[in-house]
Amino acid sequence: MRYISLLALSVGMAAVCEVQAAEVKNIQITGLQRVEPETVRAYLDIESGQNIGQFDIDAALKRLYATGLFSDVSLDMLANGELLVKVTENPIINKRYFEGNDELGDEMLSKELQLSAGSIYSVSKVQQDAQRIVEIYKRAGRYATTVDPKIIKRDQNRVDLVYEITEGADAKIDKINFVGNTHFSDSELQSEIMSKESRWYRIFSSSENYDPEKTNYDKELLRRFYMRHGYADFRVSTAVGELSADKKSFVLTYVLDEGPRYKVKDINIAPSVRGVNVETLYPEVLFEKGDWYDADKVEKTVYAITEKLEQQGVAFVDVTSRLNKNTQTGDVDVTFDISEGSRLFIDKINIMGNTRTDDNVIRREFRIDEGDAFNASKIKASRRNIEALDYFSKVDITTEPTDDSNKADLNVKVEEKSTGSFNVGVGYSTLNGALARVGVVENNFRGKGQKLSAEAAISQRTSEYELSFTEPYFLDRRLSAGVDVFHSKTDYQDEASYDSETTGGRLRFGWNYTDDLAQYVRYTLSEDKITNVDKTASRYIKEEEGSYTNSAIGQTLVYDKRDSKIRPRDGYYLSFGNDVAGLGGDEKYVKFDAKAYKYYTISDDYTFKFFINGGYIDGYGGKNVRLSHRYYLGGSTMRGFEYAGIGARDKYTKDALGGNWMVYSGAEFQFPLGLDELGIRGRTFVDAGALGKPDHMDKKYVEYSDKIRVSTGVGLEWQSPMGQIDIDLAVPVVKEKYDETEVFRLNFGTRL
């Protein structure tokens, strides 16, 4: 204890001596080159005649270091009362360089940093900027990036600052895991989110690069997907990205809480304002009792009811949806509450962040205009429309008060993303042999929301080229207009001993009556050629050799109630179209086509598909229907038969002659194979169809029967990088002796 007390006393005496005040009689500053003495005195904050202690000296040192002007500072209180201030000035940055930054340009890095040419060099700021560069690279998906700052000394206390950057590889997403998804497969959920697993065929896409902001948006996309399919309690518990030890890849894990799936038991509209005729609002509801709950349809119904109320002169109302859920029975009652809204008007709609996209492309998606009464449902609908353009990675709409208490501005902030794509594909088909495809698509051409695409496909028996342009808002109306230019050449030597060539163009228009009902009209002008007719070909083919001009106008009406256009599980699709040729040209015919598809999922991944297609074509004005416009059955239609393997056939040459009407239907059962991650599913099917006789065929030369043919088989469907690939094994059950059959078929393309 004695020694401890003596030690404490010694420390205390030292502290007293340390803080003992002394009078400053003079201040001397040394080491200055560029900085004025007055600047040092100002930060020193000590004057002659002032009594100072160690505390004052420490505080002065901190202030001088904090200026960033000096690399070294010392303050000494001499015995004669002189305060000696010695400084070493930080050098000036003469030039700043980046080395090794192949992926990110100098300009992008420069605007994020503190130091530039002419700045005062500071070790701490250099380190901060180096870390900032690392963060920028992390945003770009390169988590292994390192930055080593170096200086090169120059004369006059100047330095060149060099950031040596080792970029490292992109941190790809190696694996995406979903935990808790009992109703949807991993592959189905992956198709709904922006983040994608790293694959060789995504070399032109950034979707496989890890991005925390993209992961957060994925949570919202998953929520929307489940809410569309009846899971009103769904939530993403966690979404975690784990970086590998080598910092080259990530594993994403989404933990899901699906909750029960709800069916709509009751629908109510509950107004709390006067002047509302409830009965006129029920037709605006986009779903029915017994339907699975769909948050999208509920939101669209809110908008539709709001629109109807405004048409009836009921303004300044808020329409909101309220759910009463029974988790035991899986029932939900949906109530639309109509209450009095605030009397607020929209002053201005300000759009920010669109450096490439024209303001008008965004403004035309708004369902509310400047000067309109403030309406939350219309603002939500506007945001949904802008997001649906798929031009932006992020869309935020906020409200900002103005000087007028009855008015507010809407601020729309968007973040643009790449809207172009380049696709290359190679493969093999049993119909066309080896094939290659190249396509370029720009969905926001010139920033005006226009679509421009060019595609070329070449195989052993076909060559196809097409250039298309679409204006989605023709004449500033919700009317799409487009033009196509095309050329194709096909070898039909195996089926009918001739080659076909078509060159032409098409004008088209389209519009939507509702979200599900759309109509398209078109005018097509083309030159069709039948060439390279074999000398042993059928007399009916030889008669058509040569060139013919086709001028036709047509329309198609589509009603699409499928839950997904990529992999439908529920709903139906109907279409009806007709074409009339004869507005000039050599061809005169009337053509009708109809399609109907029904999808029904009996459990999580087991889906039935029923379909029927039909068509009829007939010539008029003394004209027969030519080869290129007839129907052919077989191949991808009527599996188990070769392309054009069914129908009228020359008895002697065996050339297929097609038919003037066609019916093709079937049933298909789709099931999982445990390969959902690869996009592969299995199926069994039964196909049935019949083909009518072509014009003016003599039974003496032609074999023909319009009896129904039937086939059955099994197959695989693969959503591959090159599009959908179908592999089928089929056996004809009912056929004619002259039909051409095939057991195995590999087909590229998209099927309904």
How far apart are alpha carbons 658 and 140 in whole angstroms?
Answer: 56
Supply the pLDDT for residue 312. 81
**Does residue 162 contact residue 148 with C-beta atoms inside 8 Å?**
no
How far apart are alpha carbons 221 and 307 in whole angstroms?
Answer: 27
Supply the pLDDT for residue 750. 47
**pLDDT tens, 35-93?**
888 888 888 888 888 888 888 888 999 998 888 788 889 998 888 888 999 998 888 88
Supply the pLDDT for residue 48. 87
- The mean pLDDT value for 312-335 works out to 90
Supply the pLDDT for residue 13. 34
DSSP 164-193: EEE-----EEEEEEEES-SSS-HHHHHTTS
Low-confidence winner among 204-213, 476-485, 523-532, 741-750 (lowest mean pLDDT):
204-213
Supply the pLDDT for residue 721. 62
Low-confidence winner among 159-163, 352-356, 562-566 (lowest mean pLDDT):
562-566
The total of other beta-carbon atoms located within 10 Å of residue 332's CB is: 21
Q: 287, 285, 209, 221: which is closest to 250 by C-alpha?
A: 209
**Does residue 487 contact residue 464 with C-beta atoms inside 8 Å?**
yes
Range 479-505 burial, b when 16+ CB lie within 10 A, else e: ebbbebebbbbbbbeebbbbbbbbebe
Residue 5 confidence (pLDDT) above 50: no
- The mean pLDDT value for 309-338 works out to 89
Residue 8 confidence (pLDDT) above 60: no
Supply the pLDDT for residue 14. 37
Per the confidence metrics, is the pTM higher than 0.75? no
Map tokens 């099931």 to a residue: 671
In 565-708, at which residue ranges do the beta strands (DSSP E only) sit? 571-581, 589-603, 606-619, 648-650, 656-658, 661-672, 680-691, 702-703
H-only helix segments in 358-428: 359-363, 376-388
Residue type, 571: G
Q: 49, 48, 56: which is closest to 75 by C-alpha?
A: 56
Range 388-422 burial, b when 16+ CB lie within 10 A, else e: ebebbbebebeeeeeeeeebbebebebebeebeee
CA distances from 287 to 283, 291, 503 (A): 10, 7, 45
Residue 7 confidence (pLDDT) above 50: no
Supply the pLDDT for residue 190. 86
- The mean pLDDT value for 283-287 works out to 91
pLDDT interval class at 604 (50, 70, 90): low
**pLDDT tens, 107-157?**
888 888 888 888 888 888 899 999 999 888 887 778 888 899 998 988 888
For 543, which DSSP code?
T
**pLDDT tens, 579-602?**
999 998 999 999 999 999 999 887
Q: pLDDT over 90 for what percent of the chain?
A: 46
* 669 or 724: which leads in pLDDT: 669
User: Per the structure block, which two tokens stand in for 734?
Assistant: 């009912």
Backbone angles phi, psi at 666, to 5 degrees: 175, 180
For 373, which DSSP code?
B
How far apart are alpha carbons 450 and 473 in whole angstroms?
Answer: 9
- The mean pLDDT value for 641-655 works out to 92
Mean confidence (pLDDT) of the chain: 87
User: Integer distance in angstroms from the first to the last C-alpha of the chain?
Assistant: 93
Supply the pLDDT for residue 203. 60
Map tokens 């003016």 to a residue: 696
Supply the pLDDT for residue 25. 87
Between β-strands 331-340 and 263-271, what pairing exists: parallel, antiparallel or unpaired?
parallel
**Does residue 694 contact residue 658 with C-beta atoms inside 8 Å?**
yes
Q: 258, 334, 329: which is closest to 293 by C-alpha?
A: 334
Domains of the chain: 2-89 (3.10.20.310), 92-166 (3.10.20.310), 172-257 (3.10.20.310), 263-340 (3.10.20.310), 345-416 (3.10.20.310), 537-748 (2.40.160.50)
Supply the pLDDT for residue 438. 85
pLDDT interval class at 201 (50, 70, 90): low
Backbone angles phi, psi at 525, to 5 degrees: -125, 120
* 625 or 187: which leads in pLDDT: 625
Torsion sign over Cα 725, 730, 735, 741: positive
How far apart are alpha carbons 96 and 163 in whole angstroms?
Answer: 8
How far apart are alpha carbons 329 and 326 in whole angstroms?
Answer: 6
Supply the pLDDT for residue 143. 81
Coil, strand or helix: which one is 163? strand
Residue 1 confidence (pLDDT) above 60: no
In 1-78, at which residue ranges do the beta strands (DSSP E only) sit? 22-23, 26-30, 51-52, 70-77
In 532-563, at which residue ranges do the beta strands (DSSP E only) sit? 546-560
Residue 677 confidence (pLDDT) above 50: yes
